[in-house]
Each structure stands twice: as structure tokens, then as C-alpha cells.
Amino acid sequence: MKHLSASDLMPLEQYARERAAIRARLIEHRQLRRLVLGPNCTVSFEDLETVRYQIQEMLRAERIFEPAGIAEELAVYNPLIPDGSNLKATLLLEFPDPVERARRLGEMRGLERCCWLEVAGCERVLAIADEDLARENELKTAAVHFLRYELSAPMVATLKGGAALSAGIDHPAYHHAAEPVPATLRAALLADLD
């Protein structure tokens, strides 16, 4: 899959003019790529468009327009774009109450390594989590993790052949699944495997 370069991004002034329309389109796009797993977990599957939007937003927020700064943002976010044999996602653990959040994130240490995908008829694939930096410590896991699900060629072929896709988390403190994932999400993820 293609990675983004500086030429794929809008200058800050142009982005500012078009931001409202881009944001509206991306909210809808992200909804199709979002999977809710239980009451406290959302998995947002990334693609070229979600990553482009995130980079544009970071450039805008930080007022980055120098080529070196743009290159840094590209280096940080390009690894979130699927490579054709994998699916990449942002895992969010959400607890509105700060006291509950602290307690539950302590109970959920290691949860990011218990996230899975399964193509019907194939072995379950565990996510590879946080390849850029560790997001858990001896006390708790983080509320945000970056996941990569690496699929074998037979799994991709089976999925493209019509097999169902399931996803879930099997952790002692949090066990939820989507079996199967919604058809709209499955269709969006198939495009990531081209």
C-alpha cells in the first residue's frame, strides 16, 4: 500500500479553507471503519485517508510548515497505513470516570496483546501492539494502543472469497467479541488488503 509524502498533503492555508468539508467526510469515513468491542473499547481501523487527516490535523495544530517538520510527522504516521498483508488500528479504552479509569487500566495490563482477528476457517491472529513504543508499565496499560494484525496470504484469499471476519479481546478483565464484524467494516477492510 502507498505511503504518504509531502506532495499528498495540503498547504496549511488550503487545508484551513477546506477543513470543515474534509472533517465531515472523514467523520463518516471513520464511522465505517470503527468497531465497538464491549462497553469500553473501540477499534478504529486506519487507512490512507484516516492517516492523511491525522497528519493534516497535527500540522494545523502545531503550525508546522517547514519541510523537516512535515517529514517528521510523515515518519510518525505512515507506519499506521496498512501494507496490503495487514490491517492496522487504533485501540481506545474509554472510561469517563477518572477513578474507574485508573482502576480498570490497572486490571487490563496486557490487554493490547489479547486483541484478535479471525477469518472463518483460519487460525486466530493476535495483534502486534505498540511497535513504536511501550504503552504499558508495571501499574497499568494505556488508554490508547496501536495494533497491527498480520494476515497470511491464504487468510487474505479466504476473506476475499467471502469468509466472515470476527474480532475480539480475550483478556481476564475484558472479554468481548464481534462475531462477525459488520458487513460495512468487512468491506472497508478488504480494500486495505489490495
Burial 121-135 (b: 16+ CB within 10 A, else e): ebeebebbbbeeeeb
**In the chain, domain spans:** 6-192
DSSP collapsed to 3 states, 176-187: EEECCCCHHHHH
pLDDT score of 39 more than 70: yes
Least confidently predicted of 52-66, 81-95, 123-137, 179-193: 123-137
pLDDT at site 135 = 77
Q: Are 41 and 145 in contact (CB under 8 A)?
A: no
Digit-coded pLDDT (tens) for 101-117 = 999 999 999 999 999 99
